Protein backbone atom coordinates (compact mmCIF):
# COMPACT_ATOMS: atom_id res chain seq x y z
CA UNK A 1 0.00 0.00 0.00
CA UNK A 2 1.43 3.37 -0.93
CA UNK A 3 0.37 6.88 -0.25
CA UNK A 4 1.86 9.54 -2.41
CA UNK A 5 1.96 13.25 -2.05
CA UNK A 6 2.41 15.65 -4.91
CA UNK A 7 5.74 16.69 -6.33
CA UNK A 8 4.12 19.18 -8.61
CA UNK A 9 4.58 21.67 -5.79
CA UNK A 10 8.23 21.81 -6.74
CA UNK A 11 7.31 23.03 -10.20
CA UNK A 12 4.31 25.16 -9.52
CA UNK A 13 2.86 26.06 -6.14
CA UNK A 14 -0.74 25.32 -5.28
CA UNK A 15 -1.04 22.80 -8.07
CA UNK A 16 -3.88 20.29 -7.97
CA UNK A 17 -1.94 17.60 -9.78
CA UNK A 18 -0.57 14.66 -7.84
CA UNK A 19 2.30 12.40 -8.54
CA UNK A 20 5.27 10.99 -6.97
CA UNK A 21 6.96 11.35 -3.60
CA UNK A 22 6.33 8.47 -1.22
CA UNK A 23 5.27 9.70 2.17
CA UNK A 24 7.81 7.28 3.65
CA UNK A 25 10.26 10.16 3.34
CA UNK A 26 9.33 11.43 6.83
CA UNK A 27 6.67 11.62 9.48
CA UNK A 28 3.18 12.37 8.18
CA UNK A 29 0.57 14.01 10.35
CA UNK A 30 -3.01 13.89 9.10
CA UNK A 31 -5.33 16.62 10.35
CA UNK A 32 -8.98 15.69 10.03
CA UNK A 33 -11.90 18.11 10.03
CA UNK A 34 -15.65 17.57 9.66
CA UNK A 35 -15.28 16.99 5.90
CA UNK A 36 -13.44 13.75 6.63
CA UNK A 37 -16.56 12.13 8.10
CA UNK A 38 -19.33 13.76 6.04
CA UNK A 39 -19.37 11.25 3.13
CA UNK A 40 -19.73 8.51 5.78
CA UNK A 41 -22.88 10.14 7.14
CA UNK A 42 -21.72 12.67 9.74
CA UNK A 43 -23.37 16.11 9.85
CA UNK A 44 -21.66 19.44 9.33
CA UNK A 45 -21.53 21.55 12.46
CA UNK A 46 -24.12 23.85 10.89
CA UNK A 47 -26.62 20.98 10.63
CA UNK A 48 -26.43 19.89 14.27
CA UNK A 49 -28.92 22.28 15.90
CA UNK A 50 -31.49 21.51 13.19
CA UNK A 51 -30.94 17.80 13.77
CA UNK A 52 -31.40 18.25 17.52
CA UNK A 53 -34.80 19.89 16.95
CA UNK A 54 -35.89 16.86 14.96
CA UNK A 55 -34.88 14.32 17.62
CA UNK A 56 -37.87 12.60 19.10
CA UNK A 57 -38.96 9.24 20.37
CA UNK A 58 -35.44 8.39 21.54
CA UNK A 59 -35.90 8.29 25.29
CA UNK A 60 -36.92 10.44 28.24
CA UNK A 61 -33.37 11.72 28.67
CA UNK A 62 -33.41 13.21 25.17
CA UNK A 63 -36.90 14.66 25.60
CA UNK A 64 -36.02 16.36 28.91
CA UNK A 65 -32.72 17.75 27.61
CA UNK A 66 -34.38 18.98 24.43
CA UNK A 67 -37.20 20.70 26.33
CA UNK A 68 -34.72 22.58 28.56
CA UNK A 69 -32.56 23.57 25.59
CA UNK A 70 -35.47 24.81 23.48
CA UNK A 71 -36.81 26.87 26.38
CA UNK A 72 -33.40 28.49 26.82
CA UNK A 73 -32.96 29.26 23.13
CA UNK A 74 -36.44 30.69 22.71
CA UNK A 75 -37.09 32.41 26.06
CA UNK A 76 -33.61 33.53 27.07
CA UNK A 77 -31.60 33.87 23.85
CA UNK A 78 -34.81 35.13 22.12
CA UNK A 79 -34.22 33.08 18.99
CA UNK A 80 -37.35 32.26 17.01
CA UNK A 81 -37.90 28.52 16.67
CA UNK A 82 -37.68 28.69 12.88
CA UNK A 83 -34.26 30.33 13.07
CA UNK A 84 -32.70 27.81 15.48
CA UNK A 85 -31.30 25.53 12.72
CA UNK A 86 -29.39 28.50 11.27
CA UNK A 87 -27.76 29.58 14.53
CA UNK A 88 -24.03 28.88 14.93
CA UNK A 89 -23.22 26.70 17.94
CA UNK A 90 -20.58 29.26 18.98
CA UNK A 91 -23.37 31.81 19.47
CA UNK A 92 -25.14 29.50 21.88
CA UNK A 93 -22.09 28.36 23.82
CA UNK A 94 -20.19 31.62 24.12
CA UNK A 95 -22.78 33.54 26.22
CA UNK A 96 -23.28 30.46 28.44
CA UNK A 97 -19.53 30.03 28.95
CA UNK A 98 -18.93 33.73 29.62
CA UNK A 99 -21.55 33.70 32.38
CA UNK A 100 -20.25 30.44 33.89
CA UNK A 101 -16.67 31.80 33.86
CA UNK A 102 -17.76 35.10 35.44
CA UNK A 103 -20.20 33.45 37.88
CA UNK A 104 -23.03 35.64 36.59
CA UNK A 105 -26.57 34.70 35.61
CA UNK A 106 -27.89 34.83 32.07
CA UNK A 107 -31.26 36.51 32.49
CA UNK A 108 -33.35 34.04 34.52
CA UNK A 109 -30.73 31.27 34.45
CA UNK A 110 -28.19 31.03 37.24
CA UNK A 111 -24.79 29.36 36.89
CA UNK A 112 -26.15 25.93 37.89
CA UNK A 113 -28.96 26.18 35.29
CA UNK A 114 -26.43 27.18 32.63
CA UNK A 115 -24.22 24.20 33.46
CA UNK A 116 -27.24 21.94 33.08
CA UNK A 117 -28.07 23.45 29.67
CA UNK A 118 -24.44 23.04 28.63
CA UNK A 119 -24.55 19.36 29.59
CA UNK A 120 -27.87 18.92 27.81
CA UNK A 121 -26.50 20.42 24.63
CA UNK A 122 -23.35 18.26 24.73
CA UNK A 123 -25.46 15.13 25.14
CA UNK A 124 -27.90 16.15 22.39
CA UNK A 125 -25.05 16.91 19.98
CA UNK A 126 -23.71 13.37 20.44
CA UNK A 127 -27.16 11.84 19.98
CA UNK A 128 -27.84 13.98 16.88
CA UNK A 129 -24.51 13.05 15.24
CA UNK A 130 -25.07 9.40 15.99
CA UNK A 131 -28.63 9.49 14.64
CA UNK A 132 -27.71 11.18 11.37
CA UNK A 133 -24.88 8.72 10.69
CA UNK A 134 -27.09 5.71 11.39
CA UNK A 135 -29.93 7.11 9.27
CA UNK A 136 -27.76 7.98 6.28
CA UNK A 137 -25.95 4.63 6.36
CA UNK A 138 -29.28 2.81 6.58
CA UNK A 139 -30.73 4.78 3.66
CA UNK A 140 -27.61 4.03 1.63
CA UNK A 141 -26.78 7.67 0.91
CA UNK A 142 -23.54 7.46 2.88
CA UNK A 143 -20.67 5.03 2.56
CA UNK A 144 -17.97 4.57 5.16
CA UNK A 145 -15.80 2.16 3.17
CA UNK A 146 -13.15 4.84 2.49
CA UNK A 147 -12.74 5.25 6.27
CA UNK A 148 -12.03 1.52 6.58
CA UNK A 149 -9.54 1.69 3.69
CA UNK A 150 -7.82 4.62 5.38
CA UNK A 151 -7.79 2.82 8.76
CA UNK A 152 -6.33 -0.35 7.22
CA UNK A 153 -3.59 1.65 5.53
CA UNK A 154 -2.72 3.47 8.76
CA UNK A 155 -2.72 0.28 10.84
CA UNK A 156 -0.56 -1.62 8.32
CA UNK A 157 1.95 1.20 8.43
CA UNK A 158 1.98 1.47 12.24
CA UNK A 159 2.24 -2.34 12.64
CA UNK A 160 5.72 -2.34 11.12
CA UNK A 161 7.02 -1.15 14.45
CA UNK A 162 6.04 -4.51 16.00
CA UNK A 163 7.97 -6.30 13.25
CA UNK A 164 11.05 -4.20 14.02
CA UNK A 165 10.74 -4.95 17.74
CA UNK A 166 10.16 -8.69 17.36
CA UNK A 167 13.05 -10.68 18.87
CA UNK A 168 15.27 -7.59 18.75
CA UNK A 169 17.86 -7.05 21.47
CA UNK A 170 18.42 -3.45 20.43
CA UNK A 171 15.34 -1.22 20.51
CA UNK A 172 16.78 1.60 18.42
CA UNK A 173 15.24 0.55 15.07
CA UNK A 174 11.74 0.18 16.54
CA UNK A 175 12.06 3.42 18.51
CA UNK A 176 13.14 5.32 15.43
CA UNK A 177 10.10 4.10 13.53
CA UNK A 178 7.40 6.68 14.13
CA UNK A 179 5.81 7.24 10.73
CA UNK A 180 2.52 8.97 11.44
CA UNK A 181 -0.07 10.48 13.70
CA UNK A 182 -3.64 11.59 13.19
CA UNK A 183 -4.99 14.78 14.72
CA UNK A 184 -8.77 14.95 14.59
CA UNK A 185 -11.03 17.88 15.38
CA UNK A 186 -14.10 15.67 15.08
CA UNK A 187 -16.24 14.21 17.85
CA UNK A 188 -17.56 11.26 15.87
CA UNK A 189 -15.96 7.84 16.25
CA UNK A 190 -16.17 6.47 12.72
CA UNK A 191 -12.40 6.38 12.33
CA UNK A 192 -11.79 5.25 15.93
CA UNK A 193 -14.02 2.22 15.41
CA UNK A 194 -12.50 1.49 11.99
CA UNK A 195 -8.95 1.54 13.40
CA UNK A 196 -10.00 -0.54 16.41
CA UNK A 197 -11.56 -3.09 14.08
CA UNK A 198 -8.50 -3.15 11.75
CA UNK A 199 -6.29 -3.74 14.80
CA UNK A 200 -8.57 -6.57 15.88
CA UNK A 201 -8.37 -8.15 12.42
CA UNK A 202 -4.56 -8.19 12.55
CA UNK A 203 -4.54 -9.84 15.99
CA UNK A 204 -7.91 -11.54 16.46
CA UNK A 205 -6.79 -13.64 19.42
CA UNK A 206 -5.16 -12.21 22.50
CA UNK A 207 -3.84 -14.65 25.06
CA UNK A 208 -2.09 -12.47 27.59
CA UNK A 209 -1.41 -8.95 28.78
CA UNK A 210 2.04 -8.95 27.24
CA UNK A 211 0.96 -9.93 23.71
CA UNK A 212 2.46 -7.57 21.13
CA UNK A 213 -0.69 -6.22 19.52
CA UNK A 214 -1.60 -2.70 18.43
CA UNK A 215 -3.87 -0.15 20.08
CA UNK A 216 -5.56 3.14 19.33
CA UNK A 217 -3.44 5.64 21.26
CA UNK A 218 -5.39 8.74 22.26
CA UNK A 219 -2.16 10.10 23.77
CA UNK A 220 -3.66 10.66 27.21
CA UNK A 221 -4.42 8.40 30.17
CA UNK A 222 -7.30 6.04 29.46
CA UNK A 223 -9.13 3.20 31.20
CA UNK A 224 -11.69 0.77 29.85
CA UNK A 225 -15.29 1.40 30.94
CA UNK A 226 -15.62 -2.24 31.96
CA UNK A 227 -12.86 -3.87 33.98
CA UNK A 228 -10.77 -6.60 32.38
CA UNK A 229 -10.90 -5.46 28.73
CA UNK A 230 -7.49 -6.70 27.53
CA UNK A 231 -7.61 -4.77 24.26
CA UNK A 232 -7.78 -1.48 26.08
CA UNK A 233 -4.30 -0.50 27.09
CA UNK A 234 -2.17 2.58 26.82
CA UNK A 235 0.04 3.21 23.82
CA UNK A 236 3.19 3.18 25.95
CA UNK A 237 2.27 -0.16 27.50
CA UNK A 238 1.69 -1.55 24.04
CA UNK A 239 5.09 -0.34 22.83
CA UNK A 240 6.74 -1.83 25.93
CA UNK A 241 5.15 -5.18 25.00
CA UNK A 242 6.76 -4.95 21.51
CA UNK A 243 3.39 -4.05 20.08
CA UNK A 244 2.50 -0.78 18.35
CA UNK A 245 0.26 2.24 18.66
CA UNK A 246 -1.86 4.24 16.23
CA UNK A 247 -1.81 7.80 17.47
CA UNK A 248 -5.21 9.46 17.23
CA UNK A 249 -5.23 12.83 18.97
CA UNK A 250 -8.74 14.18 19.36
CA UNK A 251 -8.40 17.84 20.21
CA UNK A 252 -12.09 18.37 20.83
CA UNK A 253 -12.69 15.17 22.78
CA UNK A 254 -14.59 12.19 21.52
CA UNK A 255 -18.07 10.68 21.66
CA UNK A 256 -16.64 7.46 23.10
CA UNK A 257 -14.89 9.19 25.99
CA UNK A 258 -16.48 9.35 29.40
CA UNK A 259 -14.79 11.15 32.23
CA UNK A 260 -14.97 10.83 35.98
CA UNK A 261 -15.56 14.30 37.44
CA UNK A 262 -13.78 13.25 40.63
CA UNK A 263 -10.54 11.46 39.69
CA UNK A 264 -10.50 12.86 36.11
CA UNK A 265 -9.83 9.43 34.62
CA UNK A 266 -10.92 9.02 31.02
CA UNK A 267 -12.89 5.92 30.11
CA UNK A 268 -13.00 4.69 26.54
CA UNK A 269 -15.32 2.31 24.77
CA UNK A 270 -15.60 1.33 21.11
CA UNK A 271 -18.65 0.23 19.20
CA UNK A 272 -22.14 1.63 19.02
CA UNK A 273 -22.41 5.27 19.99
CA UNK A 274 -25.93 4.80 21.30
CA UNK A 275 -24.76 2.29 23.88
CA UNK A 276 -21.90 4.52 24.96
CA UNK A 277 -24.17 7.55 25.27
CA UNK A 278 -26.59 5.68 27.46
CA UNK A 279 -23.84 5.32 30.05
CA UNK A 280 -23.50 9.10 30.50
CA UNK A 281 -24.76 9.90 33.99
CA UNK A 282 -25.67 6.25 34.69
CA UNK A 283 -22.36 4.38 34.93
CA UNK A 284 -20.20 5.24 37.92
CA UNK A 285 -16.40 5.47 37.88
CA UNK A 286 -15.28 1.97 38.84
CA UNK A 287 -12.07 3.24 40.44
CA UNK A 288 -13.80 5.81 42.67
CA UNK A 289 -16.43 3.21 43.54
CA UNK A 290 -13.71 1.05 45.10
CA UNK A 291 -13.04 3.91 47.51
CA UNK A 292 -16.72 4.29 48.28
CA UNK A 293 -17.44 7.32 46.05
CA UNK A 294 -20.27 7.25 43.57
CA UNK A 295 -19.30 9.45 40.64
CA UNK A 296 -21.42 9.08 37.50
CA UNK A 297 -19.32 9.44 34.34
CA UNK A 298 -19.86 12.51 32.17
CA UNK A 299 -19.36 13.05 28.45
CA UNK A 300 -16.07 14.57 27.38
CA UNK A 301 -16.43 16.92 24.43
CA UNK A 302 -14.75 20.28 23.93
CA UNK A 303 -17.54 22.48 22.67
CA UNK A 304 -17.51 25.05 19.88
CA UNK A 305 -17.25 28.29 21.80
CA UNK A 306 -15.04 31.35 21.62
CA UNK A 307 -14.12 30.63 25.24
CA UNK A 308 -12.89 27.07 24.90
CA UNK A 309 -12.06 25.48 28.22
CA UNK A 310 -8.86 23.60 27.57
CA UNK A 311 -7.94 23.29 31.23
CA UNK A 312 -9.15 19.69 31.45
CA UNK A 313 -6.07 17.68 32.38
CA UNK A 314 -6.59 14.96 29.74
CA UNK A 315 -7.47 17.44 26.98
CA UNK A 316 -4.35 19.45 27.83
CA UNK A 317 -2.25 16.31 27.44
CA UNK A 318 -3.75 15.66 24.01
CA UNK A 319 -3.03 19.24 22.89
CA UNK A 320 0.54 19.08 24.17
CA UNK A 321 1.17 15.81 22.37
CA UNK A 322 -0.46 17.16 19.22
CA UNK A 323 2.02 20.05 19.32
CA UNK A 324 4.92 17.59 19.45
CA UNK A 325 3.53 15.60 16.51
CA UNK A 326 3.09 18.78 14.47
CA UNK A 327 6.65 19.81 15.20
CA UNK A 328 8.03 16.44 14.07
CA UNK A 329 5.93 16.24 10.91
CA UNK A 330 7.67 16.47 7.56
CA UNK A 331 4.31 16.39 5.79
CA UNK A 332 0.94 17.61 6.94
CA UNK A 333 -2.16 16.34 5.19
CA UNK A 334 -5.30 18.31 6.03
CA UNK A 335 -8.47 16.44 5.10
CA UNK A 336 -11.90 18.09 5.12
CA UNK A 337 -10.75 20.94 7.30
CA UNK A 338 -11.35 24.57 6.37
CA UNK A 339 -8.90 26.15 8.88
CA UNK A 340 -11.60 28.52 10.20
CA UNK A 341 -10.67 31.65 12.15
CA UNK A 342 -12.93 30.45 14.99
CA UNK A 343 -10.41 27.63 15.64
CA UNK A 344 -7.90 30.17 16.85
CA UNK A 345 -6.36 27.88 19.48
CA UNK A 346 -5.59 25.23 16.89
CA UNK A 347 -4.38 27.85 14.43
CA UNK A 348 -1.95 29.18 17.01
CA UNK A 349 -0.76 25.63 17.74
CA UNK A 350 -0.11 25.16 14.02
CA UNK A 351 1.69 28.46 13.64
CA UNK A 352 3.80 27.77 16.73
CA UNK A 353 4.69 24.15 15.99
CA UNK A 354 4.69 23.35 12.27
CA UNK A 355 8.22 23.05 10.93
CA UNK A 356 9.21 25.79 8.54
CA UNK A 357 10.14 23.25 5.88
CA UNK A 358 7.11 21.00 6.30
CA UNK A 359 5.16 20.35 3.13
CA UNK A 360 1.43 20.82 3.20
CA UNK A 361 -1.28 18.91 1.42
CA UNK A 362 -4.94 19.94 1.62
CA UNK A 363 -7.85 17.72 0.65
CA UNK A 364 -11.12 19.62 0.18
CA UNK A 365 -14.28 19.25 -1.82
CA UNK A 366 -14.76 21.92 -4.43
CA UNK A 367 -18.37 21.08 -5.28
CA UNK A 368 -20.35 22.30 -8.27
CA UNK A 369 -22.46 25.28 -7.22
CA UNK A 370 -21.13 28.83 -7.43
CA UNK A 371 -21.34 29.08 -3.66
CA UNK A 372 -19.38 25.84 -3.16
CA UNK A 373 -16.68 26.97 -5.57
CA UNK A 374 -16.44 30.38 -3.90
CA UNK A 375 -16.11 28.69 -0.48
CA UNK A 376 -13.42 26.36 -1.84
CA UNK A 377 -11.40 29.25 -3.27
CA UNK A 378 -11.68 31.23 -0.03
CA UNK A 379 -10.48 28.23 2.00
CA UNK A 380 -7.62 27.66 -0.40
CA UNK A 381 -6.57 31.27 -0.05
CA UNK A 382 -6.78 31.01 3.75
CA UNK A 383 -4.37 28.03 3.70
CA UNK A 384 -2.05 29.78 1.26
CA UNK A 385 -1.81 32.86 3.46
CA UNK A 386 -1.49 30.85 6.68
CA UNK A 387 1.35 28.61 5.53
CA UNK A 388 3.17 31.34 3.63
CA UNK A 389 5.97 30.09 1.43
CA UNK A 390 5.71 26.45 2.48
CA UNK A 391 5.04 24.17 -0.45
CA UNK A 392 1.33 23.45 -0.60
CA UNK A 393 -0.70 21.14 -2.79
CA UNK A 394 -4.50 21.13 -3.02
CA UNK A 395 -6.86 18.30 -3.93
CA UNK A 396 -10.35 19.40 -4.88
CA UNK A 397 -12.33 16.15 -5.13
CA UNK A 398 -12.83 15.37 -1.44
CA UNK A 399 -11.75 12.62 0.91
CA UNK A 400 -13.36 9.64 -0.83
CA UNK A 401 -11.55 10.41 -4.07
CA UNK A 402 -8.29 11.09 -2.22
CA UNK A 403 -8.34 7.83 -0.28
CA UNK A 404 -9.43 5.89 -3.40
CA UNK A 405 -6.62 7.27 -5.52
CA UNK A 406 -3.77 7.72 -3.08
CA UNK A 407 -4.33 5.10 -0.42
CA UNK A 408 -4.36 1.72 -2.12
CA UNK A 409 -3.65 -1.78 -0.92
Is residue 222 within the footprint of Zn ion (CB under 5 A)?
A: no
- Please report, as residue ranges, which positions from 322 to 361 form the binding site for Zn ion (by CB under 5 A): none
Binding segment toward Zn ion, per CB under 5 A, in 65-73, 288-296, 300-308, 361-369 = 288-296
365: DSSP letter: B
Q: Please, what is the minimum distance in Å from the beta carbon of residue 114 to Zn ion?
A: 25
Is residue 133 within the footprint of Zn ion (CB under 5 A)?
A: no
Q: For 272-326, give the DSSP string.
A: -HHHHHTTTTTSBPHHHHHTT---B-EEEE--S-TT-----HHHHHHHHHHHHHH
Binding segment toward Zn ion, per CB under 5 A, in 99-107, 223-231, 262-270, 378-386 = 262-270
Q: How many residues bind Zn ion (CB under 5 A)?
A: 6
d(CA 24, CA 4): 9
Is residue 262 within the footprint of Zn ion (CB under 5 A)?
A: yes
**Interface residue with Zn ion, options 77, 272, 284, 288 (CB under 5 A):** 288
Q: 55 near 65, Cβ under 8 Å? A: no
- Name the residue nearer to Zn ion (CB basis): 232 or 285: 285
Q: 251 near 125, Cβ under 8 Å? A: no
Binding segment toward Zn ion, per CB under 5 A, in 16-24, 177-185, 259-267, 273-281 = 259-267
Q: What are phi and psi of 316, to 5 degrees?
A: -60, -45
Q: Please, what is the minimum distance in Å from the beta carbon of residue 237 to Zn ion?
A: 20
Q: Containing H/E element for 20?
A: strand 20-22
Q: Positive or negative CA dihedral for 176, 179, 184, 189?
A: negative
- Name the residue nearer to Zn ion (CB basis): 262 or 312: 262
**Interface residue with Zn ion, options 147, 222, 285, 350 (CB under 5 A):** 285
The two beta strands, 359-363 and 331-335, are parallel
Q: 326 near 318, Cβ under 8 Å? A: no
Q: 29 near 179, Cβ under 8 Å? A: no
**Interface residue with Zn ion, options 46, 168, 263, 373 (CB under 5 A):** 263
Q: Please, what is the minimum distance in Å from the beta carbon of residue 111 to Zn ion?
A: 24
Is residue 266 within the footprint of Zn ion (CB under 5 A)?
A: no
**Interface residue with Zn ion, options 174, 215, 260, 350 (CB under 5 A):** 260
Positions that interact with Zn ion (CB under 5 A): 260, 262-263, 285, 287-288
Amino acid sequence: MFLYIGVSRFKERSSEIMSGIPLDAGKVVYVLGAGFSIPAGAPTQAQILGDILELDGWNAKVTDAKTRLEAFLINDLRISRNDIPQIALEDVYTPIDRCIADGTAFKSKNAADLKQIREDLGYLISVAISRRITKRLNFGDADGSYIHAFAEYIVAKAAKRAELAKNAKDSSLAKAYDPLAIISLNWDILLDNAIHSALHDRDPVIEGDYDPFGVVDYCCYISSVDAGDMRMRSGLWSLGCRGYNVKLLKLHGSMNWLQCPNCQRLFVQYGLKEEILERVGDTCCRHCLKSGYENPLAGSLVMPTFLKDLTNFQVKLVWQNAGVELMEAKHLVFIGYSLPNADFEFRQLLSRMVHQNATIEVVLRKGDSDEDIRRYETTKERYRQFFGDRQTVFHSNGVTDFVGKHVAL
